[in-house]
Chains A and B, each alone.
Chain A
């Protein structure tokens, strides 16, 4: 049973207890009997109190203790009061009743009030009035098309960081051809706090530098994707030695172009970051089409494969 004294700040001055009416004392000459006599019996009282939630904003806290507008503490309905507190008095006393002029809020005396609502409002209520149709016009149509286009474009920008998917048990064939080509983005490190720059990772620095010097060995490739890619490339070339040379060339070319790309002439950190970035984000780290030399051959290969 909760206490009644929940009117904020007034708890001390309020008699705590269950028998509401019994503990009220009114030196102002308030006629207890007249006010407390419920009109219409218990069920009517219950109805009235549940009728309009906002009407209950007038709490029944006694006059002396001051009023708290908007207090939502209700007196317990008569039934519960009498059941749990046998000393609450007999019929006619201790009933919840209105202590204010009910006319002021607009109900007539003894009027039939709306039914009690005993459950939360429905999730999708019926509306009496249907919504107004949407604005239609050239501007609105254009903005709509623009919005949908922007949504698609954003997904392809380098700022959209995809969650790394879990490795699927079967490599789907179509996945290779549905990959989105993403541009690479390097922020301007001069504008960002220094801690934003990715640190040199010691364990990767070793194999990375080895890879730079000597692709052919293929040692310590930690990334599975790299391995798969290498196999693909080797298959495509169909010629192991040539692929090594090409890869080394490509690696060198990639380095040069990366250094050219950067706006910042910082060091190994930068290059490693790019390599890491590319490795993590896509499989095309050793780009097919870095230099002009192999471009023609590659594109021909691609074309052959595409047409069936």
Chain B
């Protein structure tokens, strides 16, 4: 793990789980797999706190444990999973677009709690939805369960590995740690539950408590003293499936940008590609370079209803897509009206390349971008050739090339003419190595997000006093309004915050929003680059 990644993980863990968990987590990321006592000793924290921190981390799937020989249990942190925490808003928003508010809340609860049983999720989500609904209406458990089942069917949530049910005739002492198993076919199997009930509103002045003791501090599962029907079956959000969805979205929007500006009918080609991707969602594992071949007839049948293009038009679109130099879609055969595949690996490569080009353009200018694209296209070019092809004067071309070379976007390849590598008799060619440039950019992205988070924390800390004051004032106003106060009194309280202070608060809010939005968008770039790098590494 690079230093930049470790720093980012440390910031994320600290923000979400506190200092202690951060210390333990970062230590594990740095040093790899370690047993409990060593962690406690090395970090200098008490055993008790280390245990609590590890429980939290394991609950959130950030740390896994393994039993080694002689009963030693070692804990290992998953750095890449920690970095996923940046993407939580995107996952939740995607769930909202696909399955509306219910789905959104289900995914949110699963992400916030790591893993949960289905009944717990359903209950919590129903309660939350009920609170947002109008008075008198409640959310039924059945509806939430249905959404949950749909999420499981489309693989957006999956079961966690579970403890195998062993017979009681197991000889010997119980193992130091349970070995969790998981089987492919059971991963999305929803247990048959009959959850009957409605969401409960949680208000302090509720009269229809129906004799239930209202605990002011809600406890985990306090209401039911009965056994939970799906005890031990935990669910987690399936991040890979979300990533697949994002990738599909990226491909479809790329095709739309490229092809659909020139067609009369809006977005036909992107619709075709989207259909193809949807058909191969479950059948093709996300790491394959190509989807399964789909025949043109199948695609025609699976087009969304209301899309009335004729078969010939569809064929024309498919041919157009297959002939496009971007090579998103390829033709793999002629049976069934033409067999077409989507080149996932190539598509990701094009997306990563486009990202690189865009970065070069924004950082160095459009002429540099021209040179960059030229070198990309021609693969290897000499200094003289670059000047000629790009039609840029020699001096400027030199300058730009060296700027990009220093920034590691372009690299030099030397080709000796003689075995003794004499510099006067060696060719020096400029080339772009996409994989290494992508890695460099990814590293830079991690650094930028770490900087953004630090800056945001700094800004918040600077204005901490002011923020607290404004919170107090708001609390006072709220309580006064609840007990019915006059307008004059409210105004007096509001004037406790002076105008310059209000200004300051506004500025702070604007800055924090900007920093947060930047984080989200840098994360999108990170996703593209990581997918490309992963897909390339798998192929090697």
List A residues at the B interface (Cβ < 8 Å): 28, 52-55, 57-58, 63-64, 66-67, 69, 99-101, 104-107, 127-129, 131-132, 134-135, 139-140, 142-144, 146-148, 150-151, 153-154, 157, 159-163, 181-188, 190-196, 198, 257, 260-261, 263, 284, 287-292, 295, 299, 306-307
Whole-angstrom distance from the CB of B461 to the nearest CB of chain A? 14
Which of B60, B73, B180 is A191 in contact with, Cβ under 8 Å? B180
- Centre residue among B89, B405, B414 by max chain A CB count within 10 A: B89
B218 and A161 within 8 A (CB):
no
Task: Report the separation of the CA atoms of residues A182 and B217 in the bound assembly, to the nearest whole angstrom.
Answer: 7
Tell which of A53, A66, A104, A147 touches B516, judged by Cβ atoms closer than 8 Å: A147
User: Which among A154, A184, A185 is the interface contact of B15 at CB below 8 angstroms?
Assistant: A154
In the bound complex, do residue A161 and residue B17 qualify as a contact, i.e. CB atoms below 8 Å apart? yes
Is B424 part of the binding interface, using a Cβ–Cβ cutoff of 8 Å?
yes
Could you list 15 examples of A-B contacts with CB < 8 Å? A54-B412, A99-B423, A106-B383, A147-B519, A148-B516, A159-B113, A160-B16, A161-B49, A181-B216, A192-B65, A193-B178, A261-B220, A289-B214, A289-B216, A295-B213
By a CB distance below 8 angstroms, the chain B residues around A153 are: 112
Instruction: Return chain B residues, CB-CB under 8 Å to A263.
Output: 228, 231
Interchain CB contact under 8 A, A142 and B93: yes
The reply to whether B216 and A288 form a contact with Cβ atoms under 8 Å apart is yes
B154 close to chain A: CB less than 8 A: no
- On chain B, the residues within 8 Å of A306 by CB distance are 479
CA distance A234 to B459 in the complex (A): 43
Contact A161 B213 (CB under 8 A): no
Complex contacts, B225 vs chain A, CB 8 Å = 260
Per a CB cutoff under 8 Å, which of B18, B219, B232 touches A257? Answer: B219
Q: How large is the interface on B (under 10, 10 to 19, 20 to 34, 35 or more residues)?
A: 35 or more
CB <8 Å contact, A191 and B89: no
Contact of B20 among A28, A105, A163 (CB under 8 A): A163
Which residue from A28, A132, A185, A193 sits with its C-beta under 8 Å from B362?
A132
Report the nearest A residue to B422, measured CB to CB. A63
Q: How far is the CA of A140 from the CA of B523 in the complex (A)?
A: 12
Chain A contacts of B96 at CB under 8 A? 142
Taking CB as reference atom, which chain A residue is nearest B480? Answer: A307
A interface SS class: loop
> Do residues B220 and A289 form an inter-chain contact, with CB atoms below 8 A?
no
Q: By CB atoms of chain A within 10 A, which of B55, B401, B406 has the most?
A: B55
Q: Could you tell me if B73 and A193 are in contact, using CB atoms closer than 8 angstroms? A: yes
Contact with A along B211-235 (1 / 0, CB 8 A): 0011111111110010010011010
Q: Is residue B309 within 8 Å, beta carbon to beta carbon, of the partner chain?
A: no
**Contact between B163 and A191, CB atoms less than 8 A apart:** yes
B398 touches A161 (CB 8 A): no
Interface assignment of B202: CB less than 8 Å from any CB of chain A: no
Q: In whole angstroms, what is the CA distance A117 to B96 when docked? A: 53
Asked if B521 is an interface residue, CB under 8 A from chain A, the answer is: yes
Find out whether the CB atom of B20 lies under 8 angstroms from the CB atom of A161. Answer: yes
Q: A201 CA to B18 CA in the complex, in Å?
A: 26
Q: Which of A66, A159, A196 contacts B51 (CB 8 A)?
A: A196
Q: Collect the chain B residues with CB atoms within 8 Å of residue A290's CB.
A: 213, 215
Asked whether, in the complex, the Cβ of B428 is within 8 Å of the Cβ of A195, the reply is no
**B176, CB-defined interface residue at 8 Å:** yes
Q: Give chain B interface residues in 390-406, CB to chain A under 8 Å.
A: 394, 397-398, 401-402, 405-406
B499 → A minimal CB distance (Å): 25
Contacts of A190 in B (CB 8 A): 163, 178, 232
Find out whether the CB atom of A69 lies under 8 angstroms from the CB atom of B222. Answer: no
Which B residues lie at the A interface, using CB under 8 A? 15-21, 36, 48-49, 51-56, 58-60, 65, 67, 73, 88-90, 92-93, 96-97, 108, 112-114, 163, 174, 176-178, 180, 204, 213-222, 225, 228, 231-232, 234, 362-365, 382-383, 394, 397-398, 401-402, 405-406, 412, 414, 420-428, 479, 483, 512-514, 516-521
Interface of B is mostly: helix
Q: How far is the CB of A307 from chain B (nearest CB, A)?
A: 6
Most buried by B among A52, A66, A99, A182: A52
Closest to A186 in B: B220
What is the CA–CA distance of A290 and B212 in the complex, to the nearest angstrom?
11
With most chain B CB atoms within 10 A of its CB, the pick from A53, A54, A106, A146 is A106
Q: Which residues of A contact B16 (CB under 8 A)?
A: 151, 154, 159-160
- A99-B423, A148-B516, A160-B17 known; A183 vs B219 contact (CB < 8 Å): yes
Q: In whole angstroms, what is the CA distance A186 to B17 when docked?
A: 16
A140 pairs with B177, CB closer than 8 A = no
Q: Which 7 A-B pairs have the closest CB atoms?
A: A100-B423, A193-B177, A101-B424, A67-B421, A106-B383, A289-B216, A143-B89
Q: Write out the residue numbers on chain A whose beta carbons fall within 8 Å of the beta carbon of B521.
A: 134-135, 140
Partner of A28, one of B55, B163, B420: B420
B394 close to A106 (CB less than 8 A) = yes
Instruction: Please report the C-alpha to C-alpha distance between residue A187 and residue B401 in the assembled complex, in whole angstroms.
Output: 57
Q: Are A66 and B21 in contact (CB under 8 A)?
A: no
Interface contacts beyond A183-B218, A196-B54: sample of 4 additional A-B pairs, CB < 8 Å, sorted by A: A54-B405, A67-B421, A134-B521, A146-B93
Q: Write out the residue numbers on chain B whose beta carbons fall within 8 Å of the beta carbon of A144.
A: 89, 513, 516-517, 520
B89 and A146 contacting across the interface, CB-CB below 8 Å: yes
Please give, as numbers and ranges, the residues of chain A lying within 8 Å of B421 by CB-CB distance. Answer: 63, 66-67
- Judge whether B520 and A143 touch: CB under 8 Å: yes
Q: How far is the CA of A162 from the CA of B514 in the complex (A)?
A: 28
The reply to whether A105 and B405 contact each other, CB–CB distance below 8 Å, is no
CA A99 – CA B421 in complex, angstroms? 12
In the bound complex, CA of A190 to CA of B160 (Å): 14
- CB <8 Å contact, B220 and A134: no
Which chain B residue shows the least CB distance to A281?
B52
By a CB distance below 8 angstroms, the chain A residues around B114 are 159
Distance in angstroms between the alpha carbons of A144 and B520 in the assembled complex:
8
The docked-state distance in angstroms from the alpha carbon of A160 to that of B217 is 17
Q: How far is it, in angstroms, between the C-alpha of A67 and the C-alpha of B97 when the chains are bound?
A: 58
User: Could you tell me if B216 and A196 are in contact, using CB atoms closer than 8 angstroms?
Assistant: no
Q: Are A106 and B20 in contact (CB under 8 A)?
A: no
State in angstroms the CA–CA spacing of A28 and B424 once bound together.
13
A292 CA / B216 CA spacing, docked (Å): 11
Q: Which of B65, B222, B514 contacts A193 (CB 8 A)?
A: B65
Which listed residue, B89, B112, B362, touches A157 by the CB 8 Å rule?
Answer: B112
How many angstroms from the CA of A148 to the CA of B479 in the assembled complex?
24
Q: What distance in Å separates the Cβ of B170 from its nearest Cβ neighbour in chain A?
A: 14
List, in ascending order, chain A residues with CB within 8 A of B176's CB: 193-195
Contacts of B89 in A (CB 8 A): 143-144, 146-147, 150
Q: Which residues of A contact B49 (CB under 8 A)?
A: 161
Are A287 and B217 neighbours in the complex by a CB distance under 8 Å?
A: yes
Name, among A55, A194, A288, the residue most crowded by chain B CB atoms within 10 Å (CB to CB). Answer: A194
Minimum CB–CB distance for A191 against chain B, Å:
6
- Chain A: CB-nearest residue to B53: A161
Q: Is the CB of B52 within 8 A of A184?
A: no
**Contact (Cβ within 8 A) B217 A139:** no
Assembly CA distance A78 to B200 (angstroms): 84
